[in-house]
Amino acid sequence: MESMKRRLRFDGLWYPSDKNELDKLVLFNPVKDNNSVYGVVPHAGLCYAGKLIKLFFSTLSPKINKMILLTPSHYYSLENNIVGSGNFSSFETSYTDIEGFTLPLFHQGYEQVTNAEHAVEMILPYIAQRENIKLCCAHINRFTDVNIATDYAKKILSNIDDNTAILASSDFTHYGTNFSYTPYGNIISDEVVNKVTTYDKDIAKGLLNGDGQSTYIKTVKDHATICGIAPMLIVSEMARLKNMKGKILGQSNSLISPSLDKNFVSYISMCWREN
């Protein structure tokens, strides 16, 4: 199949099409301690997720010239245990096009998933700020065997160099009746928000501390509504295999006020750094 260009779908909807307004959400300055190579960022509209995405990209190592973005699929059903990708020559952004590349180890033919996926597009303007990073997107919704995720982690590591970043796209707990998930009660309160915050932080710590497999199994048993747990498991396993140290960069949620909102989504940004 010939490669194609991924076009914008969500500009003016999930983020401003006005350049000045978009700049306020997207532009970032690197921090002094910018040696992150693996990460997790949310994929909500940039008014919610922008600050947490910036936290990761401001710490991204300057040596990075390729990035693999692993996302769930919100619009297409995906086979269990299959990481699917497409063949893209470039990705359009509101700034400059990003050059694409492929990894043959992923199952090919998933162009429609990448084209439709907002979890891809929310990250693109941040990648574009560096201008020298090539991008490969791949998608996975669910592992029925955590060892398959570890196998993917090993295969990816054997097919990339030290200048390649790995980024998982994931929003954390989706709470409320709209999501059919109310283990702490149907009414949103400060207590409920605190319990969700604590739960998600514990999940993040498990992924960061090299306990990705058991953490993933816990989320399945808990029926957790974390929509990118499978991509996060792959990144967590890669970091474990490379003995990387990780940390939480920031945590937030979509709430305006517990007294006003009946549903909310939790977000966390994380990174792993080389020793």
Q: How confident is the model at residue 113 (pLDDT cuts 50, 70, 90)?
A: very high
**CA 173 to mean position of chain CA atoms:** 14
Say what the pLDDT of residue 260 is. Answer: 84
Residues 80 and 56 sit within 8 Å (Cβ to Cβ): no
Q: What is the 3-state secondary structure (H, E, C) of the chain?
A: CCCEEECCCCECCCECCCHHHHHHHHCCCCCCCCCEEEEEECCCCHHHHHHHHHHHHHHECCCCCEEEEEECCCCCCCCCCCCEECCEEEECCCCCCEEECCCCCCECCCHHHHHHCHHHHCCHHHHHCCCCCEEEEEECCCCCCHHHHHHHHHHHHCCCCCCEEEEEECCCCEEEHHHCECCCCCCCCHHHHHHHHHHHHHHHHHHHCCCHHHHHHHHHHCCCCCCCHHHHHHHHHHHHHCCCEEEEEEEEECCCCCCCCCEEEEEEEEEEECC
Contact 64, 273 (CB under 8 A): no
Integer Cα distance of 5 and 40 in angstroms: 25
- pLDDT at res. 154: 98
**Domain chopping of the chain, boundaries:** 4-273
Average pLDDT over residues 251-259: 89
- Say what the pLDDT of residue 131 is: 85
CA 40 from centre of chain: 5
**Across-strand partners of 266?**
253
Which tens digit of pLDDT belongs to each residue from 198-229?
999 999 999 999 999 999 999 999 999 999 99
- Could you tell me the pLDDT band of residue 49, with boundaries at 50, 70 and 90? very high
- Binned at pLDDT 50, 70 and 90, residue 253 comes out as very high
Report the C-alpha gap between 87 and 114 in whole angstroms: 10
| Band (257; pLDDT cuts 50, 70, 90) | confident
pLDDT in tens, 61-76: 999 999 999 999 999 9
CA–CA dist 36, 231 (Å, integer) = 18
CATH of 4-273, one of 2.40.30.10, 3.50.50.60, 3.40.830.10, 2.60.120.680: 3.40.830.10
Query: Percent of the chain at pLDDT above 90?
Result: 94
Q: Is residue 23 over pLDDT 70?
A: yes
Q: What percent of the chain has pLDDT over 70?
A: 99
Task: Tell me what pLDDT residue 213 has.
Answer: 98
pLDDT of residue 207: 98
89-111 confidence digits (pLDDT tens): 999 999 999 999 999 999 999 99
- Supply the pTM of this predicted model: 0.96
Provide the CA 264 distance to its chain's centre, in angstroms: 18
pLDDT of 1 = 55
Beta-strand relationship, 66-71 and 134-139: parallel
Distance CA(245)–CA(243), nearest Å, equals 7
CA distance 131 to 85: 22
Q: What is the pLDDT of residues 133-161, one digit of tens each?
A: 999 999 999 999 999 999 999 999 999 99
Question: What average pLDDT does range 30-49 have in this prediction?
Answer: 95
**Model confidence band, residue 79 (pLDDT cutoffs 50, 70, 90):** very high
Question: For the residues 183-201, what does the mean pLDDT come to?
Answer: 96
Task: Extract long-range pairs of 187-196: CB within 8 Å, 24+ residues apart.
Answer: 188/255, 188/258, 188/259, 188/261, 188/262, 188/263, 188/264, 189/258, 190/258, 192/258, 193/253, 193/255, 193/258, 193/264, 196/253, 196/264, 196/266
